[in-house]
Amino acid sequence: MARIPYFDTSLATGRAAAAYEKLPALNIFRMMGHSGELIDGFTRLGTQILNFSSLDPILREIAIIRVGVLSGATYEVFQHERIARRLGMSEAIVAAIREGPAAAAIDDAQREVMVFTDDVVANVRASDATFEPLERRLGYKALQELTITIGYYMLVSRFLETFDVDIEEQTPERP
């Protein structure tokens, strides 16, 4: 159960009101309404990561779900496992993300992303041993997008867990 009441989105003003017109009625956004216009920047960065980055979507979702697993963020893992399945991720890979980088079901690129994610979450600065293989595989742009994705979803996971955001019984669609 959430630690504080969900925000009544009909009370939003300014950029927050404009943001709510485009957002599904997910509990994460309803909870974030108390922060006012911060929701605008928060959702714009999330939208950029999910819809406009060059990082392969399967690799992106592996990183996001892994951040959620490492953070104990049940809501985050639930929502992004749904996204991953819609992208065509197999159940074996979904399970492997929970298992960790040693899982047999993942390929080398997926393993490198998972090891890098684990390193950044645990140590802030990725070691050369995890950074260099991905630098060669992904190039500068996608590697930076991956790092920003990891950091963003660390923030999301901490927000979700701090406020005990509940998983929706039914996930509403976008307006």
pLDDT in tens, 90-124: 999 999 999 999 999 999 999 999 999 999 999 99
- Domain assignment present for residue 174? The answer is no
**Can you give the pLDDT at residue 170?**
72
- Domain assignment present for residue 170? The answer is no
Structure tokens at 156: 């999301």
- Domain assignment present for residue 138? The answer is yes
DSSP string of 4-34, one letter each residue = SPPP-GGG--HHHHHHHHHS---HHHHHHGG
Range of the domain at 34: 9-50
What's the farthest any 2 CA atoms get from each other in the chain? 50
The answer to pTM > 0.85 is: yes
- Give how far Cα 27 sits from Cα of 34, 119, 172, Å: 12, 29, 10
Render pLDDT for 36-88 as a digit per residue (tens, 0 to 9): 999 999 999 999 999 999 999 999 999 999 999 999 999 999 999 999 999 99
- Whether residue 157 has pLDDT greater than 60: yes
- Give how far Cα 81 sits from Cα of 49, 76, 91, Å: 16, 8, 9
33 lies in the same domain as 76: no
Please say whether the beta carbons of 151 and 55 come within 8 A: no
- Domain assignment present for residue 17? The answer is yes
CA–CA distance, 71 with 155 (Å, rounded to integer)? 10
143 lies in the same domain as 74: yes
Instruction: Supply the Cα-derived Rg of the chain in whole angstroms.
Output: 17
83 lies in the same domain as 154: yes
Average pLDDT of the residues in 116-138: 98
Number of domains in the chain: 2
46 lies in the same domain as 60: no
43 lies in the same domain as 65: no
116 lies in the same domain as 95: yes
63 lies in the same domain as 83: yes
- Give how far Cα 143 sits from Cα of 134, 139, 170, Å: 7, 6, 34
- Domain assignment present for residue 175? The answer is no
- Domain assignment present for residue 173? The answer is no
140 lies in the same domain as 86: yes
Average pLDDT of the residues in 18-28: 95
134 lies in the same domain as 109: yes
CA–CA distance, 94 with 60 (Å, rounded to integer)? 13
